[in-house]
Amino acid sequence: MSGHDNRSPEAELGLLDATMIGMGAMIGAGIFVLTGLAAEIAGPAALLVFVLNGVVTAFTGLSYAELASAIPKSGGGYAFVREIFDDLPSFLMGWMLWFAYMIAGALYALGFAPNFLELLHVYELVPPPEQIGSIAVPVVDAGVSAGFGLAFGAVLLLVALNAASTAASGSVETIFTATKVSILVVFVAFGATSPMFSGAEFQPLFSAGSGPSAVLPAMGLTFIAFEGYDLITTVTEEVENPRQNIPKAIFASLAVTILVYVTVVTVAIGTLGAQGLAEAGEAGIAEAATEFMPTGLPIIQNGGALIVFGAVFSTLTALNAVVIASSRVAFSMGREGQLLPRFGQLHHRYGTPFVAILASGVVMLGSVALPTQSAGNMSSLFFLLSFIVVNGAVIKLRRERPSMNRPYEVPYYPIPPLMGIGLNLLLTVVLVVFLVRTDPMALVLSVGWMLLGGVAYVALDRVRAMQGADTEPTSTTMTSQERD
């Protein structure tokens, strides 16, 4: 009888570990990659952008906490929605979430590259990043952007690692996160005490051209910065006393992350100025650090290198997290019969969801060709959409299954989920309008992905109908209206 028990991992993650998993994903790359981009759009109000995004996300955090406490499954958002919604909506949710994670992977890879170049630059192994336009690859006889090559290579490496070996456990994540946070604390401590910060300039708060109206698009773009606490719900099985610890971990990780973002962004704007931060782009924090960190230290020589190392380390670990997260969504969809069954199978030798990882890897590799900003736009867009669905799921579940046991209940229901839907919807609309003006390609690709999903859904339905009943050509009519 006890022979089956080894299937479920021992409950070994405490509240701290669970919190660290959420923080690890959020503090991962967003802070390093997106600060510069937010400053570019909103100026010093980038500070406001991160605070408001944290608040907006908190509403969805409440919904996640309720769902995770009521539905004891480790699959995260897709698993909850699959429990609650019919085939088509849950398919679309999985399809969107899968894409969001994959594009996030591309974003982190693209954030990794310039920071890595910056790290090499600090040790004067390569010329300053702005001078590396492209490197010639003799074999291919074509110029390949160094950044693109690095991002591509990073994705390839982590996809291969995860395809060939099972993922590292949550306790490793705690060490990773602690490392990242410590590095940021060093950054804040040195930055806040540096002479550059004493002359900090936060006025005018809003950038000259667009004023406060730039805050909303910047929020949409950087919304993905607060994606990650949902990863806590993918490991609930391993958390001790999950019905109390999961909600706590969600809120704790959100609160600490907002605090970290606010202090780090304050220091970055204070030292480098919004203008300088914007110009540094994905390597904004790293560049700020090299400005004020002490030099001539033993071993690492330049104190700024520590921060740059933090950025490289964070983007890589975040990339790793989303490689795992995206393949888990595809794997769950395969298990549920919502993708080809092959996606839901483990590899006979490696024991990994091989096909799911490979498929995710292919999309990520393709997405690395995108501009960083487009990748951020698209993953934010899809996270916004999927968060709307998560809030909707809470409402639907409350209405349809009132007697379901909910160890954690959203307070002041139904205001928080409605606020979540409203605010996420607002940001979605703002982001879409913003994309129409500035980045139509991202929009076209997003719509394309959804259309592809529609085709995949219908095709899969046909395949199943053909396999299921050879005698009767079963009803495919009912599924043909999802295009609109």
Partner 1 sequence: MTGNLDVIIAGGGRVGFQTAALLANRGDNVTIIERDGDTVEDLADAWVATVIAGDATDPTILEQADVAGADVVAGLTGLTGLNLAVCMAATEMNPDVRTVARVEREAGDAYTRFVDAVVFPERAGAKVAADEITGSDIRTLVDVTASLDIMQIRVEEDAPAARKDLSEVRFPAGTLVISDEDGERVARSDTTLTPGKSYVVAVEPEVVDEVLNLMRG
Distances (CA, A) of 84 to 267, 404, 415: 44, 12, 20
225-244: contacts with partner 1 (CB under 8 A): 236-237, 241-243
Q: Could you tell me how far CA 252 lies from the centroid of its own chain?
A: 18
Closest contact distance (angstroms) between CB of 344 and partner 1 is: 7
336 belongs to the binding site for partner 1 (CB under 8 A): yes
- Where does this chain touch partner 1 (CB under 8 A) — which range of 2-10, 200-208, 262-270, 453-461? 2-10
401 belongs to the binding site for partner 1 (CB under 8 A): yes
Near partner 1 by CB under 8 A: residue from 195, 296, 402, 411: 402
Near partner 1 by CB under 8 A: residue from 12, 72, 444, 476: 72
Closest contact distance (angstroms) between CB of 341 and partner 1 is: 7
Residue 80: count of CB within 10 angstroms of its CB: 27
Q: What DSSP state is assigned to residue 73?
A: -
Closest contact distance (angstroms) between CB of 380 and partner 1 is: 31
Measuring CA to CA, which residue among 442, 397, 437 is closest to residue 417?
Answer: 397
Angle 102-104-105 from CA coordinates, rounded to 5°: 65
Closest contact distance (angstroms) between CB of 74 and partner 1 is: 10
The tokens 């074509």 sit on which residue?
142
Structure-block tokens of residue 433:
């309008």
Closest contact distance (angstroms) between CB of 16 and partner 1 is: 19
Q: Round to whole Å and give the CA distance between 180 and 12.
A: 22
405 belongs to the binding site for partner 1 (CB under 8 A): yes
398 belongs to the binding site for partner 1 (CB under 8 A): no
Structure-block tokens of residue 185:
């604390």
166 belongs to the binding site for partner 1 (CB under 8 A): no
Q: Any residues with CB less than 8 A from the CB of 175 and at least 6 apart, and which?
A: none
Q: Round to whole Å and give the CA distance between 436 and 447.
A: 12
Q: Any residues with CB less than 8 A from the CB of 35 and at least 6 apart, and which?
A: 46, 264, 265, 268, 277, 284, 285
Near partner 1 by CB under 8 A: residue from 335, 354, 395, 417: 335
The per-residue b/e assignment along 361-388, b for 16 or more CB within 10 angstroms, e otherwise, is bebbbebbebebbbbbbbbbbbbbbbbb
Closest contact distance (angstroms) between CB of 461 and partner 1 is: 14
171-200: contacts with partner 1 (CB under 8 A): none
89 belongs to the binding site for partner 1 (CB under 8 A): no
Near partner 1 by CB under 8 A: residue from 140, 195, 199, 403: 403
CB-nearer residue toward partner 1: 198 or 241: 241
Size of the site for partner 1 (CB under 8 A): 28
Closest contact distance (angstroms) between CB of 463 and partner 1 is: 12
Residues found near partner 1 in the complex (CB under 8 A) = 1, 4-5, 7-8, 69-73, 83, 236-237, 241-243, 335-337, 341, 344, 400-405, 407
